[in-house]
Amino acid sequence: MNSTPSERRPPTSLKSVLFDRLMPVRTNAPYALIDYPDYLNPGDAAIWLGTRAVLDKLNGTPPAYTSALKNFSAQRCRSAIGDGVIYFLGGGNFGDFYSRHHRARLRVLSLVPRNPVVQLPASCAWMAETDAAILEETRRMLSNREPVVFFAREEKSRADLERLLGLESTLCPDLAHALHFEPSAPTADLRAVLRNDREASQPADASAIQLFDWRDLKAQVAWNRLGKLALAVAPRSKKLATQDWVTSAKVASAVSLLRPARTVITDRLHAFILSNELGRNVLVLDNRTGKVFAYVDAWREHFPRARKAANLRSAIGAVSDFQTASNLMMSHDD
């Protein structure tokens, strides 16, 4: 017999799911967290803050060593953690789509071949014509060191890791879901946050609606510059606190853009995730690498306020009906 809506059990929260999936990689020893996002992307800042909260709870202590990829020091890392676990921040840049970042990750892996490594929940970003040299470099690096434990944010990336690199991975939600935001009533009907970079899948018609991207927020630009300066002058004992302070400010700026809206249209994964955590309706467009739709599909039961749209025009046309349907659904839940 099929259960009625009132009899169905709500899905376990994504926060609970991610803690459950990551439990096998917890450690009682000093550990490192690598790939601090020292660039203008509040989505990766949200991953950092969520990761900090998750690892603090799982391991009982903060990381003994942190670093951006470009500033990684194997000597300082080993001095701080010995043969302890190195966690790499999750995100959407594993692959040749962001070749410089990917090669920086491989460089760090080559410098600490004996340390166990955990790649936290990530999405693959490979070009349609995959760079054979980078692919071979990745295979070689992974085969010449202690095994790396991989977590993928969605099934597309799990399949890519298996197909291209022969790697098994565990499905795990993005760690930004570990963040908590105080509820508030919307004060505006709509906000559109669309990419204006190489991950944009289609040109957006700015005449149809007012569009924003993260770089349009003056606070993001200011905090990105201030953050670099603050970290350059911070003593080593204050480095982690400074990293958390800067990323918190970047996330707060992004949330201030999203919070007023009843409905958000976006092709940015973390504009979607943050809007979802704020309890907003979200009309989701895909990005060039396919990670946004793949993520929504992987965790669909957790996103009752989300709906996919083929393009900006169809998303705008769906706003009114979507808001009505969402309001009815939420009133039934009450």
Is 222 within the bounds of a domain? yes
Rounded to whole angstroms, the Cα distance separating 262 from 284 reads 14
Report the distance separating Cα 79 and Cα 84, nearest Å.
10
Whole-number Å distance between alpha carbons of 171 and 153? 6
Q: Which of 161, 177, 193 is the last residue of a domain?
A: 177
In this structure, the answer to whether residues 281 and 171 fall within a common structural domain is no
User: How many domains is the chain built from?
Assistant: 2
**What's the confidence (pLDDT) of residue 10?**
56
Mean pLDDT of 125-150: 93
Picking from 141, 158, 177, the residue at the C-terminal end of a domain is 177
- Do 124 and 207 lie in one domain? The reply is no
The predicted model gives 310-334 an average pLDDT of 76
Residues 298 and 271 placed together within one structural domain of the fold:
yes
Structural domain contains residue 225: yes
Would you say 111 and 141 are in contact if contact means Cβ atoms under 8 Å apart?
no
Structure tokens at 133: 């040299």
Considering the domain architecture, whether residues 158 and 234 belong to the same structural domain is answered as no
Helix/strand/coil for 83: coil
Same domain, 267 and 149: no
How many residues in total does the chain contain?
Answer: 334
Same domain, 226 and 130: no
3-state secondary structure of 120: strand
Return the pLDDT at 325. Answer: 66
Q: Does residue 46 lie in a domain region?
A: yes
Site of tokens 């704020």? 278
The fraction of the chain above a pLDDT of 90, given in percent, is 88
> How far is residue 217 CA from its own chain's centroid?
19
Q: Which H helix or E strand runs over 305?
A: none
Residue 110 forms part of a structural domain: yes
Domain extent for 46: 14-177
Burial readout 197-214 (b: 16 or more C-beta within 10 A, e: otherwise): eebbbeebeeeebebbbb
Do residues 142 and 134 touch, judged by C-beta distance below 8 A? no
First to last CA, the chain: 25
If asked whether residues 173 and 190 sit together in one domain, one would say no
| pTM of the complete model | 0.94
43 in the same domain as 27: yes
In-domain check, residue 6: no
- The verdict on residue 71 lying in a domain is yes
Q: Is 67 within the bounds of a domain?
A: yes
Show which of 121, 153, 177 is a domain's final residue.
177
CA atoms within 13 A on the CB side of 251: 26
Please indicate, yes or no, whether residues 51 and 170 belong to a single structural domain of this protein: yes
CATH classification at residue 139: 3.40.50
Using CA atoms, how far residue 313 sits from 208, 265, 270, in Å, is: 8, 11, 21
Rg (CA), the chain: 20
Q: What's the pLDDT tens digit per position in 30-55? A: 999 999 999 999 999 999 999 999 99
| pLDDT tens column, 187-229 | 999 999 999 999 999 887 767 789 999 999 999 999 999 999 9
Amino acid 129: pLDDT: 80
Taking only the tens place, the pLDDT of each residue in 254-283 is 999 999 999 999 999 999 999 999 999 999
Residue 92 lies in a domain: yes
Helix H or strand E segment including 139: helix 132-143
Q: Which residues is 193 bridged to in the sheet?
A: 212, 266
Pair 133, 212 in one domain: no
Q: Are residues 32 and 153 in the same domain?
A: yes
Q: How much of the chain exceeds pLDDT 70, in percent?
A: 93
Same structural domain, 100 and 162: yes
What is Dmax (Cα atoms) for the chain? 65
